[in-house]
Structure 1
């Protein structure tokens, strides 16, 4: 199993943050998004929030690839619609490259 930790920021607007959280509730999130996550070797996905900072933790199969997932998502119309909707709430980190959203974090400690 592999673990990835990624970061992204939300726009600093309490109403938008509340809406973003609402979209991620089990009864609200698009089922196609959940199916896509589960169908690509992601065993679990968690998103944590502190202020405007989001941290996503992915636990995946050993053969999972972030690059392959991104390529598959780019040609999936429903995932592109989801990403476009989510961009209403999200903003890139200062170190993001043009068009980059979630940024892979570097693990610096483990016990």
Structure 2
């Protein structure tokens, strides 16, 4: 039984860059080895949503997430992250070097 984790990240506020970022994430556009690396890390499902220049990621992860991945997948994953750097900017409160910031759940309808 996995768990849900949500993350946030900002994009550079430039309409052309945002359009390019969305194209890079369109179905079939993400490098296959990146998708393999994401799954190997223990992500069971993932969606990225956008409003303006803010991204919101919803991820269902395995109980043993994050897993260590093979070096060849880690290298491809690092290349992808480097390619995405020009589009992304850290949230103001992000730790140094942190891109996607984990969010804290503060409300659940099911718990009301």
Mind listing any 5+ residue stretches in structure 1 that lack a counterpart?
none
> Which residues in structure 2 correspond to 1:1-111 (within 5 Å)?
1-65=2-66, 68=67, 72=69, 76-110=74-108, 111=110
Q: Find the structure with the greater CA-based Rg.
A: 2
The number of aligned residues is 107
Q: TM-score by structure 2 length?
A: 0.88
Q: TM-score by structure 1 length?
A: 0.88
Deviation digits for residues 8-43 of structure 1 (CA, Å, limit 9, x no counterpart) = 000000000000000001221100111111122211
CA RMSD after TM alignment: 1.8
Tell me, in whole angstroms, the C-alpha distance in 2 between the residues paired with 1:60 and 1:27. 22
Mind listing any 5+ residue stretches in structure 2 that lack a counterpart?
none
Contact between 1:73 and 1:79, CA under 8 Å: does it hold in 2?
Answer: no
Q: Structure 1 segments of 4 or more deviating over 6 A? A: none
Contact between 1:74 and 1:80, CA under 8 Å: does it hold in 2?
Answer: no
